[in-house]
A and B are shown apart, each in its own frame.
Chain A
Amino acid sequence: MTVIRQEATSGSTGDWHLERKRAWSNWMTGMMFLLPSLILFGVFLFYPMVRTVYLSLFLTDSQGVPVVFVGWENFVNLFQSTSFQLSAKATALFVLYTVPAGIVLATALAILANQKLRGIGLFRTMFSATMGMSVAASSVIWMFLFNPSIGLFNRILAALNIPGVQWLLDPQYALLSVSVATIWMNTGFAFLILLGGLQNIDQSLYESARIAGVSESYKLRKITLPMLSPTLFFVTTVSLINAFQTFGQIDLLTRGGPMESTNVIVYSIYKDAFINYNVGSASAQAVLLFVAVLIVTVLQFKIGERKVHYQ
């Protein structure tokens, strides 16, 4: 189109050169600004991802050097091993225990803290405090709380004349205990974002609802939650992905035990790669983790597009 219309004057070739030069210089400048990030993504994210897929198709020596190409064998072995089945189950249960409960808790706290009350800042600070807590520090504290003899939980049980529980050593309770600790750890972040989402809701919506004289629960269902849905959507995605990537609290609280009941996927990868030196198997699991996260994100976006009410 442009070409057809371009006048055949002597000037237009000059223009063309100038424009080419400018486009080129823009490209160079843009690349200069982006290159540092691109290089690092390339070296520490894209390359290792490809490498992981590659390694997952090999048997490796203890240094992680691929030795024999085995195709799908690592994956086949994984699906047949009870250990991996346990790990997959632990991961799924962990996600199930932590994500919904965590979001409900954080939403409730955010709604509670979104009141215009004197001293509300103090409560907001208290609710968001865990955001400043590292996994390691939190885990050490919860380790103490779960301690069978001097920990708080068993003391409470003792006071109620209920026999104590081996919170972290009993396969029946260990994953649940770690999940409770995890929910607590993640609340601060989710709370902060949800509170921000609540405060972004246009106040005039509530004012018109007040004029209409509707009940609090009606406001919650018809204004707050729908308007908060984009934020909830975001928090859900992040929580899901975080749950899949959990490592620190497992390493500190249970080391994947007892009886592999808390051996979630990332811990399992870590153990296979850095303790059992079975890099091929670890890589195969990493590929599966990647696929799981990918499915979650894609699903979230597909559902999100349809359901979420954006302003």
Chain B
Amino acid sequence: MRKVELKGLTKSYDGKQDVLKAIDVTIEPGEFFVLVGPSGCGKSTMLRMIAGLESITAGELALDGKRANALSPSDRDLSMVFQNYALYPHLTVEQNITFGLHVKKISKKEQKARCEEVCAMLGLTDYMKRKPKELSGGQRQRVALARAVVTQAPLCLMDEPLSNLDAKLRAKMRSEIRQLQRKLGITMIYVTHDQTEAMTMADRMMILSGGDVQQIGRPLDVYNNPANTFVASFIGSPPMNLIEAEISDSVLVADGHWMTPITADMKAKLQTDKVTLGVRPEHISLAKDSEPGFLVQVANVEVLGTETLVTFDFGEDTQWIAKWNGQSDIQPGAQIRIAVDDHHLALYSTETGERIYCQASEQAAEKKVSS
């Protein structure tokens, strides 16, 4: 187990533009830490800096409290799984797994024993004599995992290890990797651009965009309480619906005539009379007859079996998505009346995108106090 601390970690490839801007985070021993963000935001760069494959422009990296900025990769006692697996094509599975163990002064016998153990753990025992090209994608992926596990390094780095697999296999490997990490008790830093992966696997996650940290936190906290509109629209599938709204008295008005009441403590936090309003798709429902509702036109309907996604036009050029349980037989073009659960509203500054108010978090805080 290892503690990894980044203090103001900064990276610039060309000396002009920073791809990573003063990252601060502490990754606790035994934690499954996920780095997530859109393509090009600097995830791989950060991971490779931790591995020692990329130099550190400024700031400090500490492993178990000791400065490690200039340590060579092999002195950091970590393992890494690459997106393309980086298996040696000319070696068998067994040789791939044990390649390099001799450097760590491990006897031939011990190497064999360890190899057999991890192969058994990962279901590779029958393939030990095969070459990588004779394996399926999932099996190759497992060999790459085995190679990381066999070193018994207390810290494991993974860079989008599942992105070459099909959806079904990905879900399976997700849970396998998670279980493996728990069993071995190692610290894991895991890079992905897939928010589902981040949500389902992480103890804590960091959302990066353009080299800046957007939010760090437990998946549910991030989901319920996105720090800004970027996180709100990145996490969740489909993402949070956003629209600009105006405040008049005690109501929020969006699109000129749709309105929802706001509470006093909400109002207390508002300094401007313009905000961005966020609503999760699952908090939009069909209005019951007795409820106040709002008439919208359905643009598209996707029935997924257990749930239905309804896209409807909202405002001039905005479309919102609502997510309902069950299978709905609404047709595109239909006019429906919708209601928004006003206990789950989030308000963001229109200028900065930063969160101003989030009902879910206020409620959670209240609950904690009362219990």
Closest to A22 in B: B72
Closest to A18 in B: B70
> Which of A2, A9, A19 touches B70 (beta carbons < 8 Å)?
A19
A266–B69 Cα gap in the complex (Å)?
A: 59
Q: How far is the CB of A1 from chain B (nearest CB, A)?
A: 5
Contact yes or no, A2 B72, CB < 8 A: no
Contact yes or no, B57 A2, CB < 8 A: yes
Q: A6-B58, A7-B58, A7-B59 are in contact. Are A14 and B67 (CB under 8 A)?
A: yes
- Cβ < 8 Å to A, chain B residues 1-23: 8, 10, 12, 15-16
Tell me whether A216 is interfacial, beta carbon within 8 Å: no
Q: How far is the CB of B253 from chain A (nearest CB, A)?
A: 47
Q: How far is the CB of A165 from chain B (nearest CB, A)?
A: 59
Chain B residue contacts of A22, Cβ below 8 A:
70, 72
Interface residues on A, range: 10 to 19
Chain A residue contacts of B55, Cβ below 8 A:
19
Tell me whether B71 is interfacial, beta carbon within 8 Å: yes
Interface string of A1-23 (1 = CB under 8 A from B): 11001110101101110110010
A2–B15 Cα gap in the complex (Å)?
A: 7
Chain A residue contacts of B8, Cβ below 8 A:
7
Interface residues on B, range: 10 to 19
Interface string of B15-33 (1 = CB under 8 A from A): 1100000000000000000
Q: How far is the CB of A107 from chain B (nearest CB, A)?
A: 36
> Which of A5, A11, A14 touches B57 (beta carbons < 8 Å)?
A5
Chain A residue contacts of B10, Cβ below 8 A:
5
Closest to B8 in A: A7
Number of A-B residue pairs with CB-CB distance less than 8 Å in the complex they form: 32
Q: A2-B15, A5-B10 are in contact. Are A14 and B70 (CB under 8 A)?
A: yes
Chain B residue contacts of A12, Cβ below 8 A:
69
Q: How far is the CB of B50 from chain A (nearest CB, A)?
A: 15
A7–B69 Cα gap in the complex (Å)?
A: 12
Q: Which of B8, B12, B58, B71 has the most CB of A within 10 A?
A: B58
Tell me whether B159 is interfacial, beta carbon within 8 Å: no
Closest to A6 in B: B58
Contact yes or no, A1 B15, CB < 8 A: yes
Contact yes or no, B70 A15, CB < 8 A: yes
A15–B12 Cα gap in the complex (Å)?
A: 17
Tell me whether B60 is interfacial, beta carbon within 8 Å: yes
- Cβ < 8 Å to A, chain B residues 48-88: 55, 57-60, 67, 69-72
Q: A5-B57, A6-B58 are in contact. Are A11 and B72 (CB under 8 A)?
A: no
Residues of B within 8 A of A (CB): 8, 10, 12, 15-16, 55, 57-60, 67, 69-72
State the 6 A-B residue pairs at the shortest beta-carbon distance, nearest first: A18-B70, A15-B70, A11-B67, A5-B58, A1-B15, A15-B69
**Can you report 16 residue pairs joining A to B where beta carbons are below 8 Å apart?**
A1-B12, A2-B57, A5-B10, A5-B57, A5-B58, A7-B8, A7-B59, A11-B69, A12-B69, A15-B67, A15-B69, A15-B70, A16-B70, A18-B70, A19-B55, A22-B70
Q: A1-B15, A2-B57 are in contact. List 17 more A-B contacts (CB 8 A).
A: A1-B12, A2-B58, A5-B58, A6-B58, A7-B8, A7-B58, A7-B60, A9-B67, A11-B67, A12-B69, A14-B70, A15-B70, A18-B70, A18-B71, A19-B55, A19-B70, A22-B70
